[in-house]
Structure 1
Amino acid sequence: MKERNILAGFRTMESAEQAAKQLQQAGFKTVQVSHIGEYPGGGLDQLTNPITGEIPSLGSLSLDADFPSGRNASILAAADPDASGLSDGGQDSVGPSFLLTAVVPENRSEEASQILRSCGGQF
C-alpha cells in the first residue's frame, strides 16, 4: 500500500495536538508534533543572571538558541527584532511554530488533509 507524508504547520501547540488527536481517532497511527523555530538548539540550560552570568550571546539569552557554529551566527541573530527589542516585527510576520507530521495511506490523504485544515493547519 502506498503512503503519503503530510506536513502541516500550526501557530499553537494546542491546535497541533488537537489535530493529532483527531487524526489518531480517525485511525491514522503515525502522527508526530514537533516544535520548530528559526534558531538551533535549546538555549540556556539554567537560569543565569544577565549581569553577572556567563552569557554566550544576546541571541542565546533572548531567543533561547544555541549557536555551535561560531560567534558570527549569534551576532547576526542578535539583530532580530525579537532579540534587540528595536521593533516588535508585527504579529503577522510570525509563522507556524509547531509542525505536525503524519504518514497516511495515499487513498486517505485527502481525509487527513481536511482534518488538518479544520484545525488550522497550513500546508
Structure 2
Amino acid sequence: MAEKNILAFFKSPEQAKEALEQIKALKLVDSSIDRFDGYPGDGVDRIMNPITSDFPGLGYLTLGGDFPDRDAGILAATSVSASGMSTGGEDNTITGRDILLTIVIEEEDFDKAMAIVQQAGALV
C-alpha cells in the first residue's frame, strides 16, 4: 500500500500532541513532533558574561544561537529580537507556528488525517 506524508505546523506542542493522539487510531506509519527555529544550533551550554566580554557577539548572548561562523552571528544580531527593541509577543514568546508535526500515513487514511490536523489548528 502507498504512504503519504503530512507536514503540519502548530503554535504549541500540546496542539500537535492532541492531533497525533487522534491520528494514532488511523494507519499511522511514523510520526515526529519537533520545534524549529530561525537560528542554527541548540543554543549555548554555558552562561556568558557581557562584563568579561566572554561571548562572540550579540546573537550568541541574546538569542542563544550556536552560529557556525562569524557572519551568521552578525546577521542574527540584526534581528529585532536580538536587540530587545521588539518582541514577538508577551514576555518575548514566539507567536508563530514553530512546532512541526510530521506524519507518514497509509494513503487510505490521508484525508482523515488531514481533517484531524486542520481541526486541531494546523497550517498544512
The verdict on a shared fold, with TM-score over 0.5 as the criterion, is: yes
- Give distance in 1, aligned partners of 2:10 and 2:109: 21
**Is 2:47 the partner of 1:75?**
no
Asked if 1 retains the 8 angstrom alpha-carbon contact of 2:23 and 2:116, the reply is yes
Asked if 2 retains the 8 angstrom alpha-carbon contact of 1:33 and 1:101, the reply is yes
RMSD: 2.0
Q: What CA deviation, in whole Å up to 9, does each residue of 1:73-109 have, x standing for no partner?
A: 1111111011112233568x94311100000111211
Aligned length: 121
Structure 2 partner of 1:23:
23
Stretches (4+) displaced over 4 A: none
Alpha-carbon offset, residue 7 of structure 1: 0.3
- Give distance in 1, aligned partners of 2:45 and 2:78: 23
Fraction of identical pairs, as percent: 40
TM-score normalised according to structure 2 size: 0.85
Asked if 2 retains the 8 angstrom alpha-carbon contact of 1:10 and 1:98, the reply is yes
Structure 1 partner of 2:111:
110
- Give distance in 2, aligned partners of 1:81 and 1:55: 19
TM-score normalised according to structure 1 size: 0.86
Structure 1 stretches lacking a partner, 5+ long? none
Asked if 2 retains the 8 angstrom alpha-carbon contact of 1:43 and 1:61, the reply is no
Asked if 2 retains the 8 angstrom alpha-carbon contact of 1:5 and 1:102, the reply is yes
Alpha-carbon offset, residue 51 of structure 1: 2.2
Structure 2 partner of 1:6:
6
- 1:33 is paired with a residue whose SS is strand
Structure 1 partner of 2:43:
43
Alpha-carbon offset, residue 9 of structure 1: 0.4
- Give distance in 2, aligned partners of 1:2 and 1:27: 11
Asked if 1 retains the 8 angstrom alpha-carbon contact of 2:43 and 2:64, the reply is yes
